[in-house]
Amino acid sequence: MNRLLPLGAVALLALLAALLAGIAIGETRLSFEVVAQVLANHLWQAGHVLDPIDAGIIWNYRLPRTLVAAACGAGLATCGVILQALLRNPLAEPYLLGLSAGASTGAVAVGLLGLGGTLLSLSGGAFVGALAAFALVLLLARASGSSHNNAQVILAGIAGSQLFNALTAFLITKSATAEQARGIMFWLLGNLSGVRWPSVWLALPVALLGLVVCLWHRRALDAFTFGADSAASLGVPVRRTQLLLISCAALVTAVMVSIVGAIGFVGLVIPHALRLLLGPGHSRLLPASALGGALFLIVADILSRTLISGQVIPVGVVTALIGAPVFALILISRRGRP
Amino acid sequence: MTLLHTIVSAPLACQGLSLRLSGREVLQGIDLAVKAGETLGIVGPNGSGKSTLLKLLAGLRTPSSGSVELLGEPLAKLPRRRVAQLLALVEQQADTQDSISVYDAVALGRTPWLSALAPFSKADRAIVEQALADADASHLAARIWRELSGGERQRVHIARALAQRPQLLLLDEPTNHLDIQHQLSLLHQVQALPVTTLVALHDLNQALTCDRLAVLDKGRLVALGTPEAVLSPERLLSTFGVQAHYLTDPFDGARILRFRAP
């Protein structure tokens, strides 16, 4: 444990540095000094005299965007850890299992059609969509022979994703104006541009809640190492734990998708990289993955704003450019195993 | 001792235990009471329901009818955590792709005794180390699970079960995948443990070393008693479909079974 404390401190410092970099770097390059002064003004009324435009960009635009990127990355990485542990499948991840696609459909249905009236917010619709997609994927995996076969579950996930993406496209074509459609399509690819403070107050608590619930069940997640029967004989109430933690993953995914769209592969890349470093124990893997996911998405967001000058690439495209090769690497490294 | 007393004092017992899966009777009306401290072997041909019976007795499957009692309490009403503190099951093929170390795999056995806020204590560490020693696996502690041989994995599974500090140990064909030396030493170790043990066994000569044997045939309990009484030549012919007779080893006078096709 003593060995890990400095490591955790370094990781926290790295997160802080990434946050500052995320705020400073962008179309308009702002100095770290100005960033620090704006933060000081807002956090403890430091009273620095600053260009109001710079101050506005930093406080109303860059800071919430970077904080949401961090929350999103942390949340999605946590979801990846949960799904991989519970499904005993190294490729399980909210995006690949169709949760993100289902959440998109749910959010679009609520946003465009006003489905659910005032009862359902965008996030609520996304949550229902994510749960529906996951149920469909699991049923499909079971019907296709084995819910334990890694490849089968991922194939079912692809089928589910395709179906829900088609539903989303159908809804957009049927009900959206040309301008709405363009906006939704851009959002679907993962987009942090529209993020303001209210999103921060949704994303941060949900990401933290997800992490705390999972940490509380870290021993149960460990107990799934040798499968569900083994977890049961180690005293884990399997059904209840699966239901709770998978609902938790669906909720976190849904909230993140409703804010920033479907960002893939964070839940795949980060837990895998950290498992190599720290081993499979969840008491380390969960906090490390949350931190790593936050760092990863902040950096991916910076890249999305700077790779092509004057243009913003959807952050989902950046994560996929990194994540898809990692997915391929995992596939190759598991050659010969079931 | 009255019959009622026997049943109540049995650490693990079942009455009328049946399981029907997609129209097929996998187990039918099993009545069984394990005696405290004994090693009870379960034998029977392939598909006779040995593994299923162990799963039902461990509470991993819900019976279609009948009930299981653990230390006099209905198993179905006990929380999973409490069950795992009293009873440990070692299944046949529990595997993982994770790069978990042997020590950590055995430490999982402490799960039923730890809560979300309780750290893994010195006492837990001592229990894990004792369990590794009891299963003759101390030298494996730093190894990675995936790199172990089948026999080493089996001993790690048993160590994990022992780390649960159970009063009852259920083992499903624990000598599978083991070489002959480890088969014998493992059985010997299991029988020397201060716990009540239920063990499904494939090898009938190994089964002869148990205190009592239960014979399953097509999901029914057809015999229960001392090994010599239960494994009679008639029983071996009717249940296992082999001609058999006992030989006496001139080396130590032990009785062994010799089989021939009928």
Kindly report, residue by residue over A170-212, the tens digit of the pLDDT: 998 888 888 888 888 888 888 888 888 989 999 999 999 999 9
- Which are the contacts of B234, defined by CB distance < 8 A and separation ≥ 6? none
Q: What is the ipTM of this complex?
A: 0.87
For residues B138 and B163, the answer to whether their CB atoms sit within 8 Å is no
How far is residue B6 from each of residues A271, B15, B98, B148, B221, measured CA to CA in Å?
A: 53, 13, 44, 43, 19
- Is B55 an interface residue toward A (CB < 8 Å)? yes
Rounded to whole angstroms, the Cα distance separating B224 from B171 reads: 18
Residue type, A103: A
Which range is most confident: B70-84, B183-197, B233-247?
B70-84
A30-33: list long-range contacts, CB under 8 Å, 24+ apart: A30/A54, A30/A57, A30/A58, A30/A62
Rounded to whole angstroms, the Cα distance separating A88 from A283 reads: 17
Q: What is the pLDDT of residues B72-106, one digit of tens each?
A: 999 999 999 999 999 999 998 788 888 899 999 99
Find chain B residues with C-beta within 8 A of A234's C-beta. 84, 108-109, 111-112, 164
Among A173, A208, A191, which residue's Cα sits nearest to residue A300?
A: A191
Find chain A residues with C-beta within 8 A of B101's C-beta. 279
Nearest to B112 among A215, A234, A337 (CB): A234
Report how many Cβ contacts below 8 Å link chain A to chain B.
79
Q: What is the pLDDT of residues B128-144, one digit of tens each?
A: 999 999 888 999 999 99
Q: What is the pLDDT of residues A110-149, one digit of tens each?
A: 888 877 666 668 888 889 899 999 999 888 888 876 655 6
Find chain A residues with C-beta within 8 A of B88's C-beta. 233
The verdict on residue A8 lying in a domain is yes
CATH number of the CATH domain containing A304: 1.10.3470.10
The verdict on residue A74 lying in a domain is yes
pTM: 0.88
Residues within 8 A of B (CB atoms), A 296-335 only: 334
Q: DSSP 3-state helix, strand, coil percentages of chain B (rounded to 5)? A: 40, 30, 35
Q: How far is B98 from chain A (nearest CA, A)?
A: 6
Q: Which residue of B has its CA nearest to A213?
A: B116
Q: What is the pLDDT of residue B188?
A: 85
Q: How far is A333 from chain B (nearest CA, A)?
A: 12
- Is B59 within 8 Å of A232 when comparing Cβ atoms? yes
Average pLDDT over every residue of A230-252: 93
For residues A112 and A180, the answer to whether their CB atoms sit within 8 Å is yes
Q: What is the pLDDT of residue B51?
A: 93
Rounded to whole angstroms, the Cα distance separating B106 from B127 reads: 10
Nearest to B112 among A230, A235, A280 (CB): A235
- Chain centre distance of CA A68: 10
Average pLDDT over every residue of B190-210: 89
Phi, psi of B171 (to 5 degrees): -125, 130
- Which comes out higher in pLDDT, residue B102 or A44? B102
Q: If you ran DSSP here, which 8-state letter would residue B144 be given?
A: B
With a cut of 50, say whether residue B2 has pLDDT above it: no
Q: What is the pLDDT of residue A119?
A: 62
With a cut of 50, say whether residue B4 has pLDDT above it: no
- Is B108 within 8 Å of A226 when comparing Cβ atoms? yes
- Report helix angle A63-87 to A266-278, nearest 10: 70
With a cut of 60, say whether residue A226 has pLDDT above it: yes
Residue-wise DSSP of A3-22: THHHHHHHHHHHHHHHHHHH
Per the listing, tokens 């999305």 go with: A304
Q: Is the dihedral of CA A185, A188, A193, A195 positive or negative?
A: positive
Find chain A residues with C-beta within 8 A of B55's C-beta. 229
Among A234, A277, A278, A283, the residue to mutate for chain B (most B Cβ within 10 A): A234
Helix and strand totals (H; E) in chain B: 10, 12
- Is B195 an interface residue toward A (CB < 8 Å)? no
- Is A232 an interface residue toward B (CB < 8 Å)? yes
Q: Which two tokens stand for residue B48?
A: 């006779």
Rounded to whole angstroms, the Cα distance separating A165 from A30 reads: 38
- Is A244 an interface residue toward B (CB < 8 Å)? no
- Is B52 an interface residue toward A (CB < 8 Å)? no
Nearest to B111 among A90, A219, A275 (CB): A219
- Is A60 an interface residue toward B (CB < 8 Å)? no
The verdict on residue A52 lying in a domain is no
Radius of gyration, alpha carbons of chain B: 19
Among B130, A14, B202, which residue's Cα sits nearest to residue B187?
A: B202
Per the listing, tokens 């608590």 go with: A205
Q: What is the pLDDT of residues B103-122, one digit of tens each?
A: 999 999 999 999 888 889 99
Which range is most confident: A5-9, A157-161, A285-289, B151-155?
A285-289
Phi, psi of A12 (to 5 degrees): -65, -40
| Number of domains chain A contains | 1
Nearest to A90 among B97, B101, B104 (CB): B97
- Is B111 within 8 Å of A234 when comparing Cβ atoms? yes
The verdict on residue A315 lying in a domain is yes
Domains and CATH numbers, chain B: 3-231 (3.40.50.300), 232-262 (no CATH)
Tally the C-alpha atoms within 13 A of residue A289's C-alpha that lie toward its C-beta.
Answer: 35
Structural domain including A241 reads 4-27+62-333
* Residues β-bridged to residue B21: B24
Q: If you ran DSSP here, which 8-state letter would residue A57 be given?
A: I
Nearest to B108 among A225, A275, A337 (CB): A225
Q: What is the pLDDT of residue A249?
A: 93
